[in-house]
Amino acid sequence: MKAQSLFLPRIGAMLLLGLVLVACGSPATIPASTQAPAQAARQALEVYFSALSAGRYADVITLYGGDYQVLVDNNPDLDPNDHDALFQNACQINGFVCNLTIKDYMSESQPSSTEYTFVVEFQSADGELFSLGPCCGADPTESPPVTQFEYHVQVMSGKYLVMDLPVYQP
């Protein structure tokens, strides 16, 4: 009986440790064959925004398949191949809004067998619907606030990659 009572807490502790490691580990890219394609594309998008929000830029670059030129142009003093630093500056200096989570999917489509398009609404850190207001003193009636944003996910080399940068707020 005594050996059994020592064994059960150890199993519980190992299971708990395993769950913590899975929850805290860096997200690998989402493999193309592990789940339904549209669900995997959604998951890649959600993990991408979760990593952005948490400031895990090394994870972000494993989930991003788009062009870096805007980030390079905004940061001429950085090495163009230092993608971690480019995303860090994008989120902390350059005006990209990285602390958003997906609140709702407004629409989704699959233009090709390897491409998914999602229109999403975001939730800000305070739980409110994120709204991108008119820029630079523009009249809100002529340039109304935007609450829906289009994102593309593409299967490349067997992985689901987000092709778009976070929302930019000048």
The answer to whether residue 96 scores a pLDDT higher than 80 is: yes
Going by C-alpha positions, the residue among 131, 102, 126 that lies closest to residue 44 is: 102
As a whole number of angstroms, the longest Cα–Cα distance in the chain is 76
What is the rounded distance in angstroms from the CA atom of residue 45 to the CA atom of residue 47?
Answer: 6
Quick: pLDDT tens for 42-72: 999 999 999 999 999 999 999 999 999 999 9
* CA of residue 62 relative to chain centroid, distance: 10
- pLDDT of res. 21: 32
What is the rounded distance in angstroms from the CA atom of residue 93 to the CA atom of residue 26?
Answer: 24
Q: Are 33 and 158 spatial neighbours (Cβ–Cβ below 8 Å)? A: yes
Q: Are 162 and 44 spatial neighbours (Cβ–Cβ below 8 Å)? A: yes
Identify the residue with better confidence: 55 or 10: 55
What is the rounded distance in angstroms from the CA atom of residue 82 to the CA atom of residue 103?
Answer: 31
- pLDDT of res. 153: 98
The full 3-state SS of 4-55, as one line of letters, equals HHHHHHHHHHHHHHHHHHHHHCCCCCEECCCCCHHHHHHHHHHHHHHHHHHC
The answer to whether residue 15 scores a pLDDT higher than 60 is: no
Average pLDDT, integer, range 69-96 = 97
The CATH number assigned to the domain with range 30-168 reads 3.10.450.50
- pLDDT of res. 145: 87
Contact partners, residue 73, CB within 8 Å, separation at least 6: none
Radius of gyration, CA atoms only, the chain: 20
The three-state secondary structure class of 91 is helix
Q: Is the dihedral of CA 130, 54, 75, 155 positive or negative?
A: negative
- pLDDT of res. 29: 54
Quick: pLDDT tens for 107-164: 999 999 999 999 999 999 899 999 998 777 777 777 788 999 999 999 999 999 999 9
Residue 90 DSSP code: H
